[in-house]
Amino acid sequence: MNKGAGVRFLIVFLLWFVANSACGGENRLLSCRSVNGAMGYPQIRHPPRRVLLVPLLSKEPYSQISERWAEQPANNIAAFYRNRFDADVSLLRNIKSWEDYYQQIGQLLRQSAPFDRVIFVGHGGFDGPILKAKVFFQDLSITGKNGRLLQFSEAQPGLKNVLSITYDIEKNQVFTNHIASHLQELAELGASEVRYRLKGLEKLLQPLDSACFNRYCSPDKLVTARPGTYQSRIELCELVCREPLFDLKASVEISSERFFLFANTLKSLATPDGLIFFGSCNPGSQAPTQERKRGDVELLINSPLAAGPYESYVHLVGAVSGRLTAGPIGNSSAEDIVDRIIRFETNQTQNYLCVVAPTLH
């Protein structure tokens, strides 16, 4: 066994993480067959000499695993490339949002030559790698007596979260002043957290309509409430029977501008004969085709983005970047990501790895 193979056993066993769907033989793509490794692809003309690793720091809700879990497999992969190929390895640090990524990549591209391998390690899904949705655009505008706070954020490049808050600036001055003076704090919160915070303020500022409340939540009305629904019934009545101070709308939409911003960084980072690897769940998986419900955003890979649809995220990125692109089909884990990289670079056969040349779309 080669000396690099021992790196596989350095992973902490508890670093498993779950994906959106299971991997099945029937879901394997025609262009994502069993692969033998790097030497099976003529696009790769020489062993890796320069490697960039991008551990993405995020955690799933209610998970006890640290957001920094991706650093360990990234460090193990770095050790493998240094030991096996004597490669020059760079690691990005503290990438917690896509704005962190773009800031560091901008500096890296000014100072460094392209890389033979660009490897992401982190949570992901059918539409690519995932980070915490952070606001990258915010605007507060006043037109007459109408105020509007608009925020854009993203957890996956190309899927833009839109938050719009509209209100009458003359209706309650305390509320209006709160919006204007807490923009930075509101930018750090998710849509549901913003709604909860502003509804709490509204409850303090707006009087309850007693007639309305008694009509729907008087003691005789609550007698008929189902067991366990008493408190939620009270909260609903308070919501309905209080004049609102604002209207909040949240949605998700496909942004070709944000996707191509990300894709262009990949094209700049990877050499023409290099490899982009997404170490996460489902980048090589075929997208589900179930009927969308009203308000659901279309998957990037099912959309017309970049002359789509595409079979998988790997196919999409390969076509747009013009680079050989790879990633697991179905579930993955920290240990699995390291194992797949080692097998690919040492030309060992493996299944459920999608490797796509940019000409395959």
Residues 6+ apart with CB under 8 A from 84: 2, 3, 4, 345, 346
What pLDDT, on the 0 to 100 scale, is given for residue 82? 98
Chain center to CA of 354: 20
Same domain, 30 and 123: yes
Rounded-to-integer distance, Cα 333 and Cα 34, Å: 19
Q: How many degrees, rounded to 5, is the angle at CA 101 between CA 50 and CA 337?
A: 55
What pLDDT, on the 0 to 100 scale, is given for residue 12? 27
First to last CA, the chain: 37
Contact 256, 305 (CB under 8 A): yes
Residues in a beta bridge with 215: none
Domain range for residue 41?
A: 3-131+255-360
Same domain, 353 and 271: yes
Single pTM value for the model: 0.83
What pLDDT, on the 0 to 100 scale, is given for residue 147? 97
Domain boundary among 227, 252, 277: 252
Same domain, 125 and 260: yes
Same domain, 7 and 127: yes
Pairing of strands 50-55, 88-91: parallel
Same domain, 54 and 76: yes
Same domain, 283 and 165: no
Q: What is the CATH number of the domain that holds 323?
A: 3.40.50
Ranges of the chain whose pLDDT falls below 70: 1-35, 223, 225, 228, 290-297, 359-361
Mean pLDDT of the chain: 85
Same domain, 79 and 142: no
Would you state the structure tokens that stand for residue 188, as one six-digit string?
Answer: 């750090």
What pLDDT, on the 0 to 100 scale, is given for residue 220? 73
Question: What number of residues does the chain have?
Answer: 361
Same domain, 260 and 347: yes
Sheet with 134-143, strands from edge to edge, namely: 134-143, 146-156, 159-168, 246-254
Write phi, then psi, for 58 (nearest 5 degrees): -155, 160
pLDDT tens digits for range 73-88: 999 999 999 999 999 9
Same domain, 174 and 111: no
Same domain, 278 and 349: yes
Same domain, 122 and 196: no
For the chain, the domain total comes to 3
Domain boundary among 201, 224, 252: 252
Same domain, 246 and 289: no
Domain boundary among 201, 227, 252: 252
What pLDDT, on the 0 to 100 scale, is given for residue 294? 55
What pLDDT, on the 0 to 100 scale, is given for residue 32? 60
Contact 8, 328 (CB under 8 A): no
